[in-house]
Every structure is written in structure tokens, then in C-alpha cells.
Copies of this chain bind each other. A is one copy, B any other.
Amino acid sequence: MAERYALGIDFGTESGRALLVNVETGEEVATYVHPYPHGVLDTALPDGTPLEHDWALQDPNDWIEILTVTVPQVMRAAGAAPEQVIGIGVDFTSCTVLPVKQDGTPLCNLPQFKSRPHAWPKLWKHHAAQPEADRITQAIRQRGETILERYGGKMSSEWIFPKIWQVLDEDEEIYDAADRFIEGGDWIVEQLCGQEARSSCMAGYKGMWDKEEGFPSPELLKSLHPKLENIVGTKLSKTILPLGSKAGELTAKMAELMGLKAGTAVAVAIIDAHSAVPGSGVTEPGKMLMVMGTSTCHMLLSEKKMKVDGMCGCVRDGILPGFYGYEAGQPATGDIFAWFVENCVPYPVYEEANNRGVSVHYVLEERAARLAPGQSGLIALDWWNGNRSVLVDAELSGLMLGMTLTTRPEEMYLALIEATAFGTRKIIEAFAGSGIPITELFACGGLAERNKLLLRVYANVTGLPIRIAQSPQTCALGAAILGTVAAGKAAGGYDTPQEAAARMARLKDEAYAPDATAHQAYTDLYQEYTQLHDYFGRGTNDVMKRLRKMRG
């Protein structure tokens, strides 16, 4: 019998990727990455129309190009026949939202709207809806509603309601012309199978939907703007499908464009970071997955629905069906280290890296690895891009303390790694304090792949063992896993993501066990981190906000 394959299609910020996986063994048979031709539109539209500060858009036609370019490439590379592919899964950045006509046509594809910024998809990192986000937070609080408790207490400018309201605020004609607003991931699934199947993951984490409590009330929405009162059920679908569901079957048209078989099962979309959970084989409560790249997402399954300080979201069926999926995050980790290497590393380190043919990161890591906890005399707060968990405050900024005339670059580099580890420990303690203990850490993503020192520090700071996902593309693998579940056992797939992940996802042999002495030293340092964290983060001294305001 021929091998059975699943396709995971991963839509990132700068590029998209197809991954063809053996359903039986999890072997990653072929993968292909293709950059979006228009990348991120953050200064102008393709026709030159300028964009304001904090805007970030994408072109939906680029997403289609991912489907038509990357899928044929992996099929060809694997020598796979269309009928060998039993299911397709999609993971996508979120909340990336676009206004469409009833038939799914993006407004930006209509000639009359192509120069109107609000007709284009707003990418997850479009931050220009901050005023709307703040006003929604305020409105919810004034009404005494508890809806934000599931989201750490604050509406994020990245989420769907602020982004939609910004359209209405700034270009009402576009708002009126939009028959629907839809997540990019849901839109791609709709393109694949010809019908909308709104993802519980995206609706839950970014759309204020809750399986038990439903949607934001018309009263709340009306208090924002009369036109928003009935948006749920008109411009936003009320039909939410849990992850692991089948969204539909591949249309003949798309099958032809992608070189696949019409009727192939298509899974409900999942957010990219969340997809790494099944992709790393993490399918039980008590295990936290850290998706580590420029930023870190912390994912956790639980049977309990609790209020946890500063978590970004708690969604039933949000990561795997049957569990509450919790998300927390640090908005800069790899980004801080990259900033440091770009801005703070002196010539001799570059020279050494060049002479040895290694990266600057490598030299710093090698030197920093020789330092014991506390030996640098430094401590930092990891808020270069604000704080997304526990404090949920984007206006916080970085701090480093303890420098002397003998402080060396590798000491500062280590202090930054330690600071991000302390930030993760804060998140773990917030969950534990809410009755959701975490006993084991898992890591995936580029940073976890590359930086052994980082993982050692994280293990020593948290006192928890860390295992690393085997796959370097856990998001795409997670999507493929959901594709096998959409297909179902009868079609050669699986009945649950747990079952599929157990067969298809695996961990590396290497593991990082905490060292007791180092953990004790880091626990002392963590007390210092906590005192600074609370002093600068909880309003005793709002100097970071005042400096931000002065900076203008």
C-alpha cells in the first residue's frame, strides 16, 4: 500500500510554507518555503498609498500564491500522488483580519477600493487600533462585565474588535461595503473548501468568543458604536467549529491549482503558535510549551477554567478539543538578543566571530556559558517590547542594572537571557498561583533550536526540566496533524489530535535538567527581579511610561 500523507500549510508573517508528512510515521517528507511577494505592507500600499505609523497589512493574493507555489513543490519533491494526501491543515498568524464581500472576495481586490488602506487585511502586528482597544477595555470595565478576565484584563489592539472598529472609525464606507470580516486563516480554509468554518482557536483567542458564554453582547457592542450592535451574526459568523473538525473538502478548482485531489479533507484553521502544541506532541495538562522565536508564546492545556493574572487567553477547544487552552506570552525574546547583537556588541567580538567563522551569538553564548548565576552582577527587566503577561502593559520598557567599569558584553547578554527566563518564571508562577501547576517545560522554535545556553538558563531559573520538539517546523506539523484528524480514521487518518500527535510528533533526545545549586542562586536573583518588576510594573514608579511620553 502507498504511503499516506498529510499537508500542513503554515502562513507566517513574511512567508508561507508547505510540509508533507507521512501520516503513519510522522516523517517530514518534503517542505517548501515561499516569501510573500508583497511582504508586510507597513509604509505604503502596493500602489504607493502611504500608511501611517503602526500599520501593518498584507495582500491576500500573496496567501493564494503560497497555496499554488508551495504545494506543487512538495508534491513534486516527494514524488507523491494526489490521492496519497488524505488531509490538509492550515495554521495562520492571528488576528489577521480582512473585509470581504459575501462571496469571499477581499475588498482590496475590488478596483474601487484598492487604494483604501482599510480595504486590506490587517496583519496581527498592525497596532494602529490602540485607541479602539483602550476604549473597549474601558467600556467593558464600566459595564462591570467579566469578559476580559479570560484575557488578562485588557483588550489588545491586535484583536479583531479593535481592528474592525478602526475600519468603522476611519473609513465607514469600507465598513459598510464589507459583508463580512474574516480571519486570514478562516479565509484560506474557505478558499480551499468553498465554505466558511470559523476556527474556535481564532474566535476564542482573538474574537472574544467563549464556548460557554458566547459572544460579546449586542449591548456592549452598541455602547461602542450603534453600527456594531449586531455585527455578530451579520458581518461575523456565529458558527464556530472546534479544532480537529473537518471544515470541508477541497474544491475542484483549488485541487487543480494546487495539484491535489478534489474532495480531500480540510481542517479548521489554527493559529500558528498554537499549532506548535500538537506539532511538539504536547497533548496533556501540566506541560507548558514555549514557542520561542523573536517572541515567546506559552501554551498550556488544562481541564480547569481559571482566572490567571495576565494570561492572553483561555479558550475551550482553543488548542486541542476537550481542553481549555491557555496562552501567555513574552513579546520579545529573540528580538532582544538580536537587538543586543545589532546595537551593543563591540568590534572585538565581531572580529573573533569572523576569524573563527562563527556567529556573534555563538561567541557571546560561549563566553556567557562560563559564568555562574549572579557572577555578572547584573539584572535586567525583559520589557524591550513591553510586557504581555502578568502585567499586560505595552508601555513598559527595558532595564539593566548593576553595570560597573568591568562589565563585559557577554555578561549583559547573559543578563538579558536570564531576564527573559525570569519573565517565563513569572508566568509559570501565575498559573501555579491560580491552581494550574506546571511540571514540565517543552520548547520549540528557532531560538530553542539554536541556543543551548538559553535552555540551560531557563531550566535553572524555573527549576523545571525542558524537552525540545524534534521538528524544526512544529507549526506546519501541527497543521498536518489536524489535517489527518479532518480526514478521520476511516480515510487513513486519526480520530483525535492526541492520537495523531502521539504517532506523528516527537521530542529530541537531549533534555535540560535543572541544576539544584544554580536554581537556588537564580531563585535569589528572581527575588530581585520580582521587586524591580513590581516597582516599575505595578505603578509605584511609572517612569517608563513618562519617558515614553516624553519621547513622543
Chain B residue contacts of A412, Cβ below 8 A:
343-344
Contact A550 B400 (CB under 8 A): no
- The reply to whether the CB of A524 lies closer than 8 angstroms to some CB of chain B is yes
Contact A405 B384 (CB under 8 A): yes
Name A388-414 residues within 8 Å CB distance of B. 397-405, 407-409, 412
- The reply to whether the CB of A83 lies closer than 8 angstroms to some CB of chain B is no
Q: In this complex, what residue of B is CB-closest to A529?
A: B543
Contact A339 B531 (CB under 8 A): no
Q: How far is the CA of A350 from the CA of B376 in the complex (A)?
A: 26
User: What is the 8 Å Cβ interface bit string for chain A, positions 360-390, against chain B (1 contact, 0 not)?
Assistant: 0000000000000011111100001100000
Contact A543 B532 (CB under 8 A): yes
Name A517-532 residues within 8 Å CB distance of B. 521, 524-525, 528, 531-532
User: What is the 8 Å Cβ interface bit string for chain A, positions 337-366, against chain B (1 contact, 0 not)?
Assistant: 001001111110010000000000000000
- The reply to whether the CB of A143 lies closer than 8 angstroms to some CB of chain B is no
In the assembled complex, how far is the CB of residue A483 from the closest CB belonging to chain B, in whole angstroms?
Answer: 35
Contact A379 B543 (CB under 8 A): yes
- The reply to whether the CB of A502 lies closer than 8 angstroms to some CB of chain B is no
Instruction: Choose among A375, A404, A525, A552 the residue with the greatest number of B CB atoms under 10 Å from its CB.
Output: A404
Q: In this complex, what residue of B is CB-closest to A342?
A: B346
- The reply to whether the CB of A548 lies closer than 8 angstroms to some CB of chain B is yes
Chain B residue contacts of A536, Cβ below 8 A:
401
- The reply to whether the CB of A541 lies closer than 8 angstroms to some CB of chain B is yes
Instruction: Choose among A400, A405, A412, A547 the residue with the greatest number of B CB atoms under 10 Å from its CB.
Output: A405
Chain B residue contacts of A347, Cβ below 8 A:
345, 347, 350
- The reply to whether the CB of A81 lies closer than 8 angstroms to some CB of chain B is no
- The reply to whether the CB of A335 lies closer than 8 angstroms to some CB of chain B is yes
- The reply to whether the CB of A64 lies closer than 8 angstroms to some CB of chain B is no
Q: How far is the CA of A536 from the CA of B400 in the complex (A)?
A: 13
Contact A547 B535 (CB under 8 A): no
Q: How far is the CA of A532 from the CA of B346 in the complex (A)?
A: 28
Instruction: Choose among A346, A400, A532 the residue with the greatest number of B CB atoms under 10 Å from its CB.
Output: A346
Q: How far is the CA of A376 from the CA of B374 in the complex (A)?
A: 29
Contact A377 B543 (CB under 8 A): no
Name A531-552 residues within 8 Å CB distance of B. 531-532, 535-536, 541, 543-544, 546-548, 550-552
Contact A343 B346 (CB under 8 A): yes
Contact B552 A375 (CB under 8 A): yes
Chain B residue contacts of A404, Cβ below 8 A:
384-385, 397-398
Chain B residue contacts of A400, Cβ below 8 A:
399-401, 403
In the assembled complex, how far is the CB of residue A398 from the closest CB belonging to chain B, in whole angstroms?
Answer: 3
In the assembled complex, how far is the CB of residue A387 from the closest CB belonging to chain B, in whole angstroms?
Answer: 12
Chain A interface: which size bin? Answer: 35 or more
In the assembled complex, how far is the CB of residue A529 from the closest CB belonging to chain B, in whole angstroms?
Answer: 9
- The reply to whether the CB of A332 lies closer than 8 angstroms to some CB of chain B is yes
In the assembled complex, how far is the CB of residue A312 from the closest CB belonging to chain B, in whole angstroms?
Answer: 19
Chain B residue contacts of A129, Cβ below 8 A:
none
Contact B401 A551 (CB under 8 A): no
Q: How far is the CA of A550 from the CA of B374 in the complex (A)?
A: 6
Which of B376, B405, B521 is within 8 Å of A339, CB to CB? B405
Which of B409, B521, B541 is within 8 Å of A344, CB to CB? B409
Name A301-355 residues within 8 Å CB distance of B. 332, 335-336, 339, 342-347, 350
Known contacts A350-B347, A399-B401, A402-B397; decide if A407 and B339 are in contact (CB<8 Å).
Answer: yes
Which of B344, B408, B552 is within 8 Å of A346, CB to CB? B344
Which of B398, B401, B550 is within 8 Å of A525, CB to CB? B550
Contact B535 A531 (CB under 8 A): no
Contact B543 A531 (CB under 8 A): yes
Contact A397 B408 (CB under 8 A): no
Q: In this complex, what residue of B is CB-closest to A373?
A: B550
Known contacts A346-B345, A543-B528, A543-B532; decide if A551 and B407 are in contact (CB<8 Å).
Answer: no
Contact B398 A548 (CB under 8 A): no
Name A472-527 residues within 8 Å CB distance of B. 521, 524-525
Which of B344, B397, B399, B402 is within 8 Å of A377, CB to CB? B397
Q: How far is the CA of A548 from the CA of B407 in the complex (A)?
A: 12
Chain B residue contacts of A339, Cβ below 8 A:
405, 407
Contact B345 A405 (CB under 8 A): no
Contact B551 A528 (CB under 8 A): no
Chain B residue contacts of A409, Cβ below 8 A:
343-344
Chain B residue contacts of A342, Cβ below 8 A:
346
Chain B residue contacts of A374, Cβ below 8 A:
547, 550-551
9 A-B pairs with CB atoms under 8 Å apart are A332-B405, A344-B346, A344-B409, A345-B346, A346-B350, A377-B547, A385-B405, A399-B400, A399-B402
Question: Besides A374-B547, A384-B405, A521-B550, 9 other CB < 8 A contacts?
Answer: A332-B405, A342-B346, A378-B547, A385-B404, A398-B401, A399-B401, A401-B544, A531-B541, A535-B535
